[in-house]
Amino acid sequence: MEKKLVRCNINGKDVETYLDVRSSLTDMLRNDYRLTSVKKGCEVGECGACNVIIDGECYNSCIYLAVWAEGKHIRTLESLLGPNGELSDIQQAFVDEAAVQCGFCTPGFIMTAVKILESGKEYTREELRKQLSGHLCRCTGYENILNAVEKTMKKRLGKA
C-alpha cells in the first residue's frame, strides 16, 4: 500500500497525517480526525451526505481523494459549534423548522447552506431549491429544509 503525507487545515487547525493514497477525503475526516458529521451515504457522489467546504467551495468528499486535500482549508459541520457546543443559527433553524428527521443528510445540507449564507446574497426560494438540489433526503420532503435556509438567510440579511 502506497502512503503519502497529507498536510492541510481542518476547521482552523493545521494537521498532517500519512494516508493510503487511495483514501477518500470522507475516510480521512471520519477515521483520522473523528469528524463523524461527514456521512457516508451513496459513496458515489450522488447524495450530498458527505459534503464539506474546501477552500470556500462545496465538494462531495466521498469522490475527493484525501491526497488532493494537501494545502487546502477544509470545513465540516463541527466548525459551526460555539465554544461550549452551542448550535449556530442555521443548525438551530433546522431544529426549529423540523428540518431534521433521521438526520443523516443534515450535515451535508447545512454545509451547503453555510456557503449560501456566507455569500451574503439574497436568493429566491426557487434559487435556494436549485442550490440545495445536490442533496437527497429520504425523510423530510425538503420543504422544511428550504424553510430553515430561507429564514436564516432573511435573518442574516436583516429581513426577517
Between 138 and 154, name the residue whose CB sits nearer to ligand FES. Answer: 138
- Please pick, from the candidates 43, 78, 89, 96, the single residue that binds ligand FES as defined by CB under 6 A: 43
Decide if residue 104 touches ligand FES (CB under 6 A): yes
Decide if residue 58 touches ligand FES (CB under 6 A): no
Kind plus residue range of the DSSP H or E element containing 52? strand 51-54
Between 62 and 114, name the residue whose CB sits nearer to ligand FES. Answer: 62
Question: From its phi and psi, is residue 12 left (phi > 0), alpha (psi between -120 and 50) or beta?
Answer: left
Burial class (CB in 10 A: 0-12, 13-18, 19+), 32: middle
Residue 39 CB, nearest distance to ligand FES (Å)? 7
User: Is residue 62 a contact partner of residue 40, using CB atoms and an 8 Å limit?
Assistant: yes
Our CA dihedral for 120, 121, 127, 133, rounded to 10 degrees, sits at -20
- Please pick, from the candidates 9, 33, 40, 78, the single residue that binds ligand FES as defined by CB under 6 A: 40
Residue 92 CB, nearest distance to ligand FES (Å)? 16
- Please pick, from the candidates 15, 17, 20, 42, the single residue that binds ligand FES as defined by CB under 6 A: 42
User: Is residue 28 a contact partner of residue 5, using CB atoms and an 8 Å limit?
Assistant: no
Name every residue whose Cβ is closer than 8 Å to that of residue 100 and which is 6 or more positions away in sequence: 94, 106, 140
Q: Name the nearest CA neighbour of 29 among 5, 10, 56, 46.
A: 10
- Please pick, from the candidates 11, 35, 41, 146, the single residue that binds ligand FES as defined by CB under 6 A: 41
Q: Tell me which stretch binds ligand FES (CB under 6 A): 65-73, 104-112, 116-124, 147-155.
A: 104-112
Between 103 and 122, name the residue whose CB sits nearer to ligand FES. Answer: 103
Residues at the site binding ligand FES, with contacts judged by CB under 6 A: 40-43, 45-50, 60, 62, 100-106, 137-140
